[in-house]
Amino acid sequence: MLESGFMVSVENPWVIAIALNTVLLGVAFVLPKKLLTLMGYLHAWGLGVVLWGTLNWPGYLVVLFYFFLGSAVTRIGKTEKESQGIAEGRSGVRGPENVWGSALTAMVCALGTLAVNEVWSGLLVLGYVASFSTKLSDTCASEVGKAYGKRTFLITTLQPVARGTEGAVSLEGTLAGGVASLAIAILGWGVGLISPFGILWCLIAAFIATNLESVIGATLQTKFSLLTNEVVNIINTTLGAIIAILLAWGIAN
């Protein structure tokens, strides 16, 4: 009985989630290069436990891909962006507010799969992948645009503006965002989370949501203090998830 109970507990995804994330947290603490603040790592631990516990290793692999690629992209052209005052704060080191700004929608989708039938579970998993596809698209579009955008325009007027302006878009950034959203959608398909059509839904959703986020930045973000970058990120990823779900649901029905 003890042996049987032990085997069941070890195979429980929540036990694996806690053990794995605790080990990774310990490794992160001893590495010289920090990607998150202390509280950022603790919050990421909680997020990681939930995502592995609900979606197992495929869902976890998607968030790891987003995290490491997104962190790397923020360091592109770092020196030039810092000299212009448009680089990420803390030299790109993320805090808990960044963790939840990027992944709150994904966590809600993941937890939702525990309470719905198989059809809706599949749609929520699509929303999960689409939220990260959208966020990575936004991150890459912004960071590549700030570093390499030759001509940047305000999305609402198409008037030229300085790189780093809220609501600014560039060809370079838009292309980078499209490649990023495609990459994470293909990964989601590759690990069995979404169908080939799901890749298309993620691409469309990420493009629409990222541009809507730019519109919010150009029109509302500077007027309302409540609309911090993190809140706008939550709106952005939620839009991406909802659009992808609606596209898939509409085609299926």
> If you average pLDDT over residues 55-77, what whole number do you get?
91
**For residue 92, what pLDDT band results from cuts at 50, 70 and 90?**
low
DSSP 160: B
pLDDT above 70 coverage of the chain, percent: 89
- pLDDT of 82: 61
- pLDDT of 8: 46
Please write the tens of the pLDDT for every residue from 9-59. 557 899 999 999 999 999 988 887 778 888 999 999 999 999 999 999 999
24-61 residues labelled b (16+ CB within 10 A) or e (exposed): eeeebeeeeebbbbeebbebbbebbbbbbbbbeebbbb
Structure tokens belonging to residue 127? 């929303």
- pLDDT of 7: 45
**Segment among 124-128, 155-159, 187-191 with least mean pLDDT:** 155-159
Would you list the DSSP string of 50-70? HHHHHHHHHHHHHHHHHHHHH
A 10 A CB-CB count for 174 gives: 20
pTM of the predicted model as reported, rounded to 2 decimal places:
0.90
Query: Which 3 state secondary structure label does DSSP give 169?
Result: strand
Please write the tens of the pLDDT for every residue from 191-237. 999 999 999 999 999 999 999 999 998 898 888 888 899 999 999 99
